[in-house]
């Protein structure tokens, strides 16, 4: 084969699968809606099963359902006949996938599923099959032909099944009112989870780590505090520990330009008043946005009485993997 032959073959496959996916739209109807109702009413979990390539797609469908608010897991139909059927309870609902609707390992489970008295959703391309006839809800995943030129290797049919599984998961997600924060709870290890779950209080410096000087202190004391704590700034507080302002590296440069005496001038005379502050309960991602917008590298965290209770630095957010 030449390069042009490879390209033509690939384009033909993409075209065939795209047409098959597009044809799904007119077949999403009462059966699909009934499947959604059964899963929403389920008090247990959604059990997905399928053999061979359908099984591989089934694992992905189960994972997508689980991560979008519909607890689900995959059960191999062959293993189910040898003990794993015990994983299925009377509160569950089953999604059985078979393009032909006659896969032996799947069909063997049908009487057992019926005996458990739980709903069965079939995803099959053969509405006259045993699987389709046993179903409480039938989802049609039939295709005109496989992308394989022999019309044998599951290609178009698996793509269509995957898309239908995604459609089911998203319809359920919307019905449940599933939010981005709900999604984050299912993905705490990912960047999205950290952005939506990690709050300032989880990563801020607190207690003696927060640089702090009294507003009447000489500038020299502020420089010593900045050096000791290593944040390039210090908070400036009143006698009642209320935040009056901050003194930063930028303030120091401006003070030096004015030729001030660090031993005599009070830090309150050269500090930045009403600096940017945040509360401990906001998202760390929001604190990052404030830093970027204000072109600063640290934020003071204060409580409801304007007492500085913490400090969050850009480096803290980087270490937490927010960006």
pLDDT in tens, 214-255: 999 999 999 999 999 999 999 999 999 999 999 999 999 999
Residue ranges of domains in the chain, CATH in brackets:
3-178 (3.40.50.10490), 200-319 (3.10.580.10)
Position 84 pLDDT exceeds 90: no
pLDDT band at 187 (very low <50, low <70, confident <90, very high): low
What pLDDT score was predicted for residue 186? 64
What is the Cα–Cα distance from 83 to 13, expressed in whole angstroms?
40
* Phi-psi sector, 291: left (phi>0), alpha (psi -120 to 50), beta: alpha
Report residue 275's pLDDT band, with 50, 70 and 90 as the boundaries. confident
Q: What confidence score (pLDDT) does residue 192 get?
A: 64
Residue matched to tokens 């009487």: 111
Side-by-side strand order, sheet with 46-50:
72-74, 46-50, 93-98, 120-124, 137-140
Q: 56-68, pLDDT tens digit by residue?
A: 999 999 999 998 8
CA 106/CA 110 separation, integer angstroms = 7
Provide the pairing of β-strand 212-214 with 205-206. Answer: unpaired
């Amino acid at each position: 084969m030449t390069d042009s032959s490879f390209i033509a073959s690939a384009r033909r496959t993409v075209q065939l699968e795209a047409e098959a996916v597009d044809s799904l739209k007119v077949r999403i109807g009462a059966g699909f809606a009934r499947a959604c109702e059964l899963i929403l009413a389920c008090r247990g979990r959604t059990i997905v099963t399928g053999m061979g390539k359908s099984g591989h797609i089934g694992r992905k469908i189960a994972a997508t359902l689980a991560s979008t608010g519909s607890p689900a897991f995959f059960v191999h139909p062959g293993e189910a006949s040898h003990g794993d059927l015990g994983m299925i309870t009377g509160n569950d609902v089953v999604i059985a996938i078979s393009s032909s609707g006659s896969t032996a390992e799947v069909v063997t489970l049908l009487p057992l599923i019926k005996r458990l008295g739980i709903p069965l959703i079939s995803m099959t391309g053969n509405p006259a099959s045993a699987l389709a006839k046993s179903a409480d809800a039938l989802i049609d995943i039939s295709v005109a032909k496989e992308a394989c030129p022999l019309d044998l290797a599951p290609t178009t049919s698996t793509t269509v099944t995957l898309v239908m599984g995604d459609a089911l998961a998203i319809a359920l997600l919307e019905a449940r009112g599933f939010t981005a924060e709900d999604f984050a709870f299912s993905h705490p290890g990912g960047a999205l989870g950290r952005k939506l779950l990690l709050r300032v209080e989880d990563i801020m410096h607190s207690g003696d780590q927060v640089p702090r000087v009294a507003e009447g202190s000489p500038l020299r004391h502020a420089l010593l505090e900045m050096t000791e704590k290593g944040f390039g700034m210090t908070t400036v507080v009143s006698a009642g520990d209320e935040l009056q302002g901050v003194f930063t590296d930028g303030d120091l440069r401006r003070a030096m330009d004015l030729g001030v005496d660090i031993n005599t001038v009070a830090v309150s005379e050269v500090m930045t008043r009403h600096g940017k502050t945040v509360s401990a309960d906001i998202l760390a991602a929001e604190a990052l946005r404030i830093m970027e917008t204000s072109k600063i590298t640290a934020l003071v965290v204060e409580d409801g009485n304007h007492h500085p209770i913490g400090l969050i630095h850009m480096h803290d957010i980087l270490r937490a993997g927010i960006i």
